[in-house]
Amino acid sequence: MDIEMALKIEAAEREYLCLRVKNLSLINGNPYGARVFFNEDFSCFQVKATPSPMLNRIYGDNTDEPQAILNLLRQSAEYSTVTPLVGKSSTLGQYVHMGDERLERLRGWTHLQLSCAVEDVILNRHSFEVEEVTPKTLPEFADIHAGGFHTKPNQRELSQASFLAHISNDRMKIYVLRAGGKVVAGAVMYFASNGVAYLGTAATRKDARGFGYHGALISHRIEQAKKYGCSLIAATALASSQSCRNLQRAGLAQSHAQALYRLAEN
């Protein structure tokens, strides 16, 4: 595993998720209790209104400064905060020790991080209609996203709001694909400050899967990354998923595995 590459990809993903939480925190009155804070140079974030590990994360130097991570995990335990650990899949056990604590891996939250130099990607030529989302069409994307990730009804408004920028920001782009005049798939692109184009969350309507829409959105986002001047393409996927296979067809290869851990119950 290339440690430098892994940390670069992790930083890009962290920046993307941090922006989504910041979007929530900027809503008038901060109704979701969202906040972004720092552990040394590492941004961390939590959202009181949701227990999702996606939006409640503690980051830091787990080798030289593990105690700082543990202290923050303890302080925010009621919000189900987690910390990501990276390595080869075989090394990310169910339990790990960090400092004086034992951490437990979350079931279903171990993913592969994939990457590819932008000049080495394999584009899938397509004729589908892809467009950038506007505030008016954002609900259509949010609906597909919620269906694809089984978002509970009481969390759908929060999820949609996390994608709605309240200040000008050109780093996060959302695209939807239309077929027969209807939005059938959508995906996020994040241009990280370290030159990584992070292919964020993507989803396709259940009745529209198998037609190549996800692959088309991968290619469209890669084309945008080239125009933006990014040097590296990165993405996250479950190892056995169709998304992972589609990303590999585009030239992305496994960099490392990422697992989310929380404080284990004594």
Question: Percent of the chain having pLDDT more than 90?
Answer: 86
| Cα distances (Å, whole numbers) of residue 8 to 48, 147, 218 | 28, 30, 20
Residues 74 and 189 in one domain: no
pLDDT tens-digit series, residues 24-41: 999 999 999 999 999 999
Judged against a pLDDT cut of 80, whether residue 250 lies above it is answered with yes
Residues 191 and 144 in one domain: yes
Number of domains within the chain: 2
Average pLDDT over residues 46-75: 95
Q: Are 107 and 260 in contact (CB under 8 A)?
A: no
- β-strand pairing of 196-204 with 232-237: parallel
Q: Is 47 left (phi over 0), alpha (psi -120 to 50) or beta?
A: beta
Which phi and psi (to 5°) does residue 119 adopt? -75, -10
The C-alpha angle 246, 142, 239, rounded to 5 degrees, equals: 30
Q: How confident is the model at residue 47 (pLDDT cuts 50, 70, 90)?
A: very high
Residues 184 and 215 in one domain: yes
Kindly report the CATH number assigned to the domain that includes residue 128: 3.40.630.30
- β-strand pairing of 196-204 with 182-191: antiparallel
Q: How confident is the model at residue 210 (pLDDT cuts 50, 70, 90)?
A: very high
Residues 168 and 188 in one domain: yes
Instruction: Give Cα 83 distance to the centre of its chain.
Output: 14
Q: How confident is the model at residue 79 (pLDDT cuts 50, 70, 90)?
A: confident
Residues 143 and 87 in one domain: no
Residues 136 and 248 in one domain: yes
Residues 21 and 132 in one domain: no
Average pLDDT over residues 222-226: 95
Q: Residue 107 burial (CB < 10 Å; 0-12/13-18/19+)?
A: exposed
Residues 137 and 89 in one domain: no
Q: How confident is the model at residue 60 (pLDDT cuts 50, 70, 90)?
A: very high
Which pLDDT does position 266 carry in this prediction? 65
Residues 48 and 101 in one domain: yes
Judged against a pLDDT cut of 70, whether residue 107 lies above it is answered with yes
Residues 123 and 45 in one domain: no
pLDDT tens-digit series, residues 132-181: 998 888 999 999 999 999 999 999 999 999 999 877 788 999 999 999 98
Q: Which domain holds residue 196?
A: 117-256
Q: Is 50 strand, coil or helix?
A: coil
Which pLDDT does position 90 carry in this prediction? 87
Whole-angstrom distance, CA of residue 47 vs CA of residue 97: 26
For the chain, what is the mean pLDDT? 94
Residues 140 and 241 in one domain: yes
Residues 171 and 245 in one domain: yes
Bridge-partner residues for 110, per DSSP?
259
Q: Is 253 strand, coil or helix?
A: strand
Counted residue by residue, the chain has a size of 266
Judged against a pLDDT cut of 90, whether residue 8 lies above it is answered with yes
